[in-house]
Amino acid sequence: MAISVEEALTQIYTLSRPLGSEIVPIENAIERVLAQEVIASYSLPSFDNSAMDGYAVRVSDAGKTLPQSYVIFAGDGNDIRLVDNQCIRIMTGAKIPEGCEAIVPIEEVRVQNDNVSFPSLIKPSQHIRLKGEDIQSGMRLLQEGTSLHAHHIALLASQGITHINVYRRPKVALFSSGNELKMHFESLGANQLYNTNTPTFAARARELGCDVIFTGTAEDTLESIQNHIRNALDADLIITSGGVSVGDADYTKEAFNSLGFEGSFESVDIKPGKPTTFGRIHHTLILNLPGNPLAAALCFEIFGQSAILSLSGRSDKFLSTITTRISEPFKMKKGRRSLIPGWFDGASFTPSPVFGPGMVLPLSRANAFMMVDSVVEKFEEGSEIKIIPTRWCMSSEVQHSLVTP
């Protein structure tokens, strides 16, 4: 019996646990997932400093003309004190001298013969960056499970952190089978097709930060498929497609079962994608997706992506949606949750004009899809919908409904 998408995802999240960790230089930590929290060791700024090139003064110096007594450059190590009836020239980033109450920018003063005339209004603390106003020592900067991006690297560098503990990248193994299918680097025979699923899975898994191995193409024999499975069992996740549906005339299902496959579910109440299967052999997760290319790719976005985000240790492992509006009227058959590919232009979503489970072209021209509830038959133009992107990862620390009702 087919289970719901929600039940399937629950089982995927239950079995897909974060992997071990490793220490890497921060320069190599882009798109890696933190396996530790990061606490600030230093306040930022670490001292009061000037936000402008200008003059250090007291608030009471407003409207006065004062002689310049000194110049402070960024990086100067001397402790300087501002004395009465004098001003100090100061550069951006330089330490604020003792007694200074404000910085007046160069463009707001008049200078003549080293005498500086100030405006009639000077606000306390203007153009002064105070110690710790950005980061305070002891503050939690990043939590475990954060996927690191360029600006996170800047944050780590600001604390003098050179290496960081991150979760290991998931290792995904792929192999293909079926006499009717050939890889894109092979020659086609009569009544044969190119295998588009395996390259698709490989590309998307790499986009999601996985290390990917391809163990080759299995012959349509029980022994050959068993050997390919054994060769892939050092991976964290094996992804295959086709061959396990009721009535499939090959040995894929028998091969997995003979090697101790423990199934979590065998079908999902979704169209296309009902014959999606998930389970494990020992510590290796197994995801078998539909054989039809568009069905396989869309189900990968739901089930494969969820498993990978969870294995990666991400705190935002739950798929999320963008709420938008449909750009045109759309009709469909009700009865089962349906996946509808299309294009999101930032303002609205346009369903693909023609698509079917076995097609490839519509997927290449889509950047998102919607999962429509089983009772829906049509949408009017401008109806509010939810979409799931396929060209970038949209995820959340909280699990929300993915379905457009």
Give yes or no for a contact between 184 and 195, defined as CB atoms under 8 angstroms apart.
Answer: yes
At 372 the pLDDT is 97
Name the more confident of 176 and 15: 15
Provide the Cα torsion 89, 92, 94, 95; round to 10°: 90
Mean model confidence pLDDT for the chain: 94
Give yes or no for a contact between 38 and 156, defined as CB atoms under 8 angstroms apart.
Answer: yes
At 194 the pLDDT is 82
**At residue 248, does pLDDT exceed 70?**
no
At 101 the pLDDT is 97
Q: What is the C-alpha to C-alpha distance for residues 257 and 19, in angstroms, rounded to an integer?
A: 25
Give yes or no for a contact between 304 and 289, defined as CB atoms under 8 angstroms apart.
Answer: yes
For residue 186, the number of C-alpha atoms closer than 13 Å in the C-beta half-sphere is 14
- Residue ranges and CATH numbers for the domains of the chain are 5-20+168-311 (3.40.980.10), 22-44+135-167 (3.90.105.10), 49-129 (2.170.190.11), 318-404 (2.40.340.10)
Q: 120 burial class (0-12, 13-18, 19+ CB within 10 angstroms)?
A: exposed
- The pair of structure tokens assigned to 349 is 């979503």
**At residue 230, does pLDDT exceed 80?**
yes
Provide the Cα torsion 213, 244, 18, 310; round to 10°: 110
The tens digit of pLDDT for each residue in 270-321 reads 999 999 999 999 999 999 999 899 999 999 999 999 999 999 999 999 999 9
Helix, strand counts (H, E) of the chain: 8, 31
Question: Could you tell me the pLDDT band of residue 252, with boundaries at 50, 70 and 90?
Answer: confident
**At residue 245, does pLDDT exceed 80?**
no
**At residue 192, does pLDDT exceed 90?**
no
The tens digit of pLDDT for each residue in 90-132 reads 999 999 999 999 999 999 999 998 899 999 999 999 999 999 9
At 174 the pLDDT is 95
Nearest to 104 by CA among 119, 94, 92: 119
Nearest to 98 by CA among 79, 74, 81, 75: 81
- pTM recorded for the entire structure: 0.90
Question: Could you tell me the pLDDT band of residue 250, with boundaries at 50, 70 and 90?
Answer: low
Region 399-405 average pLDDT: 95
Look at strands 337-344 and 348-351 and give their pairing: antiparallel
